[in-house]
Amino acid sequence: MTSALALALTALAAAPAGAATTEATGEQEFVVLFAEGTSTDAAHAAVAAAGGTIVSENTDVGVATVRTTDADFATDAASQKAIAGTAQNRVIADVPAARSASGDAKKVDEAEAAVREATGSAKAAAKAPAAKKGTAAAEPLASLQWDMKQIGATTDGSYKYEKGSKKVLVGIIDTGVDGSHPDIAPNFDAKDSRNFTVDVPVDANGATIDGPCEEEPDQSCTDPADVDENGHGTHVASTIGSPINGIGIAGVAPNVSLVNLRAGQDSGYFFLQPSLDALTYAGKLGVDVVNMSYYVDPWLFNCTNNSADSPADQQEQKTIITAMQRALDFARLRGVTLISAAGNGATDYTKALTDSGSPDFADVPGEVAYTRDLLDPANCVSMPSEGKGVISVSSTGQTKRKAYYSDYGNGYVDVAAPGGDVYDTPAGTRDLAGGILAAYPANVALAEGAIDDAGNVIAPWAVKSCDASGKTCGYYQYLQGTSMASPHAVGVAALIVSKYGLPDIIRGGKYLPPQLVEARLKQSAVATACPVPAAYTYTRTLLSGAVVTDTHTCEGTKAKNGFYGSGIVNALRAVGH
């Protein structure tokens, strides 16, 4: 990498868009998308003419974050030929200091909540599955990693032939990565990691989102690039690349380099501008594979012409689709293999859709989500999982059935991978061992009541593991979701680049075109047929005693279907064994 490029990347990372919306000033922020081919001068003139001031720019994909006090900015911007669209920027970093935090707006979906269902007293419920004694070369918690066994990522499997290369960079576009976790630190690339977002203390209605800045560990809403105050990103990174070091677990590709490309808030919200910046940075840096276990807020499905949406909402959703696709294209054309979680809505993405949770973030007081029925999948897409060039991953449980929560669809799902299903048991009762075990930041574990002040585990979803000396210890948690499936596929893709990649003479490291990575990922996946009958009924007995049933229909052939795509990814087969 040239020094000029390094400076450019540093400048981009140093200016995350932190927007302000205050009732006192009427100030708002927008992400403005410029028409293709618009010159810098023309873009700046158009923003000024519409009554806005540019805060930051991403010239790689033709977007800018714009601040304005003009209530008609969006309407005025639409009349400018140089502006292709606008989207309200939901990142609100400037809030009244006197406003106290109350409540918790952390974005948690049903799949994750199932692992944290009420279990009574935390101290009385500390019954996480115990690790079984394994081979001398296996990591201490390897016996709890059914997921790695399912895809052949074990000491007797892919680890014998390919553990990954430090020259292969894997980007985690998520809530951050705890670079100090002992089961991540050896592979963490601190130099290249970046934080593209700013935490949101409260929303426009005064509800807590990320909480007061002064209560952050670093007393700042702009965290360092080695911090994760949510836990999601650290779990993902661990599944991809925890090293073989005698502590805890090993990831799918235990020797690759992990790059934190933070685009998600502590609360789990992912907004447009940080996602764009993370993707373009990945393309410039020479990242080989990125994991995207999220959707771009505030719309789960972005529709181009849904009649239930206002003209302003339609315009915003079109902007999100176009801007994200530009960033995805930018990254992929520069060698980044794009992999995304399919989603946890238990929905067939190829059929008429219902979205009752969008918009999921209030940027104006009183804004609430509304139900949109019979959405046309041809005109409504979820970003980034339905972006062109993106590999979408569904989730499996221990028995290899599609997880009950996993989205699906023949033509939507590309491959499947273990993501956990705590109800994948003979009686359909909940068993934490059916989740995915991976690294858990100690600060998050303490805040969530998983450990006490002395560092003892007191929650059933958490596990502690130490090295042979007992002096270096790490925490791990069970989670489930397609968010956990996607990193398994990413790890296999990283092994493919490590095994077959050529030297990258421009940026260093290794290089393998995303088209070849995708082809090998699919070719080496284990083809898995639809269940018989194809209309599969899931039965779950909740802790409350309530019995819940859902039926999902699998369409397609064994070679390619809506539950598994081309099959369940396999690390051992991917590296030629």
Q: What is the C-alpha separation between 344 and 112, in angstroms, rounded?
A: 9
As a whole number, the mean pLDDT across the chain is 89
Spatial distance between the Cα atoms of 110 and 115, rounded to a whole number of angstroms: 9
pLDDT surpasses 60 at 411 = yes
**What's the domain count of the chain?**
2
Does residue 350 share a domain with residue 425? yes
Q: How far apart are CA 514 and CA 234, in angstroms?
A: 25
pTM of the prediction?
0.92
pLDDT band at 254 (very low <50, low <70, confident <90, very high): very high
Residue 133 belongs to a domain = yes
Task: Report, as an integer, the average pLDDT of 85-110.
Answer: 55
Residue 1 pLDDT > 90: no
Q: In the sheet where 436-440 sits, what is the strand order?
A: 436-440, 473-479, 462-466
- Residue 109 burial (C-beta neighbours within 10 Å; 0-12, 13-18, 19+): middle
Residue 211 CB burial class (10 angstroms; 0-12, 13-18, ≥19): buried
- pLDDT band of residue 8 (cuts 50, 70, 90) is very low
CATH number of the domain within which 255 lies: 3.40.50.200
Mean pLDDT value of segment 566-572? 98
What's the CATH code of the domain at 82? 3.30.70.80
Name the percent of the chain lying above pLDDT 70: 89
Classify residue 280: in a domain, yes or no: yes
Q: With 90 as the cut, is the pLDDT of residue 499 above it?
A: yes
The Cα–Cα gap between 227 and 214 comes to 16
pLDDT reported for residue 213: 83
Question: Which helix (H) or strand (E) segment is 304 a member of?
Answer: none
CA–CA distance, 461 with 449 (Å, rounded to integer):
11
The encoded tokens of residue 209 equal 């989102």
Tokens describing residue 482: 């397609």
Mean pLDDT of 266-279: 94
Of 88, 123, 142, the position where a domain reaches its end is: 88
**What confidence category does residue 122 fall into, taking pLDDT thresholds of 50, 70 and 90?**
very low
DSSP 144: G
Beta-carbon-side half-sphere exposure of residue 416 (alpha carbons within 13 Å): 34
Give the pLDDT of residue 460: 95
Give mean pLDDT, residues 210-221: 80
- Lowest average pLDDT, out of 93-107, 490-504, 525-539, goes to 93-107
Give the closest residue to 391 by CA, choosing from 265, 519, 501.
519
Do 203 and 298 sit in the same domain of this protein?
yes
Q: Which two tokens stand for residue 437?
A: 């075990």
Does 164 reside within a domain?
yes
- Environment class of 185 (CB within 10 Å of its CB; exposed 0-12, middle 13-18, buried 19+): middle
| Statement to judge: residues 197 and 257 lie in one domain | yes
Task: Say what percent of the chain tops pLDDT 90.
Answer: 77
Q: What is the pLDDT of residue 24?
A: 43
Q: Per-residue pLDDT averaged across 385-409, rounded?
A: 98
Rounded to an integer, the average pLDDT of 40-63 is 96
Q: Is residue 409 scored above 80 in pLDDT?
A: yes
Helix (H) or strand (E) holding 367: none
pLDDT classification of 91: cutoffs 50, 70, 90: low
Residue 97, domain member (yes or no)? no
Domain residues for the domain of 420 are 110-574
Q: How would residue 471 be classed by pLDDT, with cut points 50, 70 and 90? A: very high
What per-residue confidence (pLDDT) applies to 192?
Answer: 98
Q: What is the pLDDT of residue 27?
A: 85
